[in-house]
Every structure is written in structure tokens, then in C-alpha cells.
């Protein structure tokens, strides 16, 4: 049995390590943003000089990689800190989900179309933070697309469940590759990416829950009375 003093010392050390890590991540993100500025400048120079297409393509890939790394670091910082939700009464969950999914689908092009047409014509209002919740929906949609079977398109279903109080909205991403459920969205540490970990935390902070099955990812969110 460890002395209480030793346990307190270990806790303080972990807290100090966490704060130092977040500061390092913050500094790295600033450096990545600086590198992106330089890379963007070089890309514009290459375009003016009419350089070879492969050179411009290489810089475009570099910039995209820097963007992804910066987004990952932003998500990591968000995940490590307490969430501050700006809930808005009577927020329309249907609108939040449809707009978020359409944005992701547009980024992936026609080859990854999602059809948010299986959405019940029901009342999906609740006390949500539209900006943060949209971020969560986008992250889960990205995972669903990334794990989709090549033979099937991902589809989205949203329905209202009134079997208990308060009523809930059930959001389902269907057609996900059966192997992708190993990247669980359960409340544990085995997340596929920091973005999906943050998505689960956001939904849980709204009083909801998330789980993944054989070919489906599901999220429940409480609705207003």
C-alpha cells in the first residue's frame, strides 16, 4: 500500500506533465502554422514561375499534411481540457446533423456521398452547443467514411425515441466497414483518432452516449421536453 504522500506526489507529477505536454502541443501547432505560411508562399511562387506540376503537387500535399497535423493538435488540446459548452435552448439537432454531414460529404466528393434522407419528420430540438456538436458529427462521419466498405455507401438515419423521458434522438451511420468497429467510440482509451475521442466526449457532455457495432456507429442525444 502506497503512502498518501507518495500518491499525492505522483498525482502532482502527472498534472505537471499534462500541463507541460499541452504547452508543447500548443507551441508545435504554432510552428506548423508558420511552416504552412512558408509552404503557401513557395506554392504561389511555383505557380508564378510555371514550374512542373509534380512540384506544385508535392507542395500541395505538404500543406494538406500540415493542416491535418494542426487539426489533430487542436483536437488533442480540446480533449485534454474541460469542455465549455455554449448551449442554446431549442437548437435544431436535425439541422446541425444535416449541415455537418453535407459538409463532410462535399469534401470527399461524389465517391463518398452520404444520404441524410432517412431522417424522421419529428421534433429534434434540444439544448445543444451547435458549433461543438457539429464538430462531433463531422468527426464521426469522417470515421464512418474512412471505414466504409468499397461496395457500399454510408447512409445516415436519424429518428426520435419516445420510450422514456426525456426523449432521445438516435443518429446512426450505416454501412461502415465491419472491421472499423475495432476503433471503438466507447468511453475508453481505445479510440481510432483523437477526433473521435473528442466527438464521444462532446456527445457525453451533452448527456448522450456513443457506441459502435459490426457495421454501424450510433449516437444518442437527449431532446427537450
Residue position matching grid coordinates 485534454: 80
pLDDT digits (tens, 9 = 90+) for 147-187: 554 455 778 899 999 998 899 999 999 887 644 444 445 43
Domain end position, chosen among 54, 80, 106: 80
> 3-class SS at 171?
strand
SS (H, E, C) 179-204: HHHHCCCCCCCCCCCHHHHHHHHHHH
- In a shared domain, residues 37 and 97: no
Domain end position, chosen among 18, 52, 80: 80
Query: What per-residue confidence (pLDDT) applies to 135?
Result: 93
Q: 52: pLDDT confidence band, cut at 50, 70 and 90? A: confident
- In a shared domain, residues 110 and 54: no
- For 9, the enclosing helix (H) or strand (E) is helix 4-48
| Neighbouring C-alpha atoms within 13 Å toward the C-beta of 113 | 4
- In a shared domain, residues 44 and 124: no
Query: What per-residue confidence (pLDDT) applies to 70?
Result: 79
pLDDT digits (tens, 9 = 90+) for 172-225: 998 876 444 444 454 333 345 788 889 999 999 999 999 988 788 999 999 997
- In a shared domain, residues 96 and 65: no
- In a shared domain, residues 31 and 124: no
Q: 17: pLDDT confidence band, cut at 50, 70 and 90? A: low
- In a shared domain, residues 161 and 54: no
Domain end position, chosen among 56, 80, 104: 80
Is residue 63 over pLDDT 90?
A: no
Query: What per-residue confidence (pLDDT) applies to 177?
Result: 63
Domain span at 63: 4-80
Q: What is the pTM of this model?
A: 0.70
pLDDT digits (tens, 9 = 90+) for 86-135: 999 999 999 999 999 888 877 776 545 556 568 888 999 999 999 999 99
Based on the structure, what is the number of domains in the chain? 2
- In a shared domain, residues 217 and 116: yes
Amino acid at each position: 500500500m502506497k503512502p498518501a504522500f507518495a500518491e499525492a506526489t505522483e498525482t502532482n507529477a502527472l498534472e505537471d506533465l499534462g500541463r507541460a505536454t499541452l504547452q508543447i502541443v500548443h507551441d508545435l501547432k504554432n510552428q506548423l502554422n508558420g511552416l504552412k505560411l512558408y509552404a503557401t508562399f513557395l506554392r504561389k511562387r511555383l505557380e508564378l514561375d510555371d514550374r512542373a506540376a509534380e512540384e506544385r503537387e508535392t507542395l500541395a500535399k505538404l500543406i494538406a499534411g500540415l493542416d491535418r497535423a494542426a487539426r489533430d493538435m487542436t483536437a488533442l488540446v480540446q480533449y485534454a481540457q474541460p469542455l465549455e459548452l455554449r448551449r442554446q435552448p431549442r437548437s435544431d439537432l436535425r439541422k446541425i446533423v444535416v449541415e455537418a454531414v453535407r459538409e463532410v460529404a462535399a469534401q470527399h466528393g461524389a465517391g463518398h456521398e452520404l444520404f441524410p434522407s432517412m431522417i424522421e419528420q419529428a421534433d429534434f430540438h434540444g439544448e445543444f452547443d451547435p458549433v461543438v456538436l457539429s464538430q462531433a458529427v463531422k468527426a464521426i462521419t469522417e470515421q464512418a467514411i474512412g471505414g466504409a466498405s468499397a461496395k457500399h455507401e454510408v447512409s445516415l438515419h436519424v429518428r426520435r425515441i419516445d420510450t422514456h423521458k426525456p426523449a432521445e434522438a438516435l443518429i446512426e451511420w450505416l454501412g461502415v466497414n465491419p472491421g472499423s468497429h475495432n476503433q471503438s467510440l466507447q468511453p475508453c482509451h481505445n479510440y481510432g483518432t483523437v477526433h473521435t475521442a473528442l466527438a464521444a466526449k462532446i456527445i457525453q457532455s451533452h448527456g448522450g452516449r456513443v457506441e459502435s457495432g459490426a457495421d454501424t456507429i450510433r449516437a444518442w442525444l437527449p431532446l427537450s421536453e
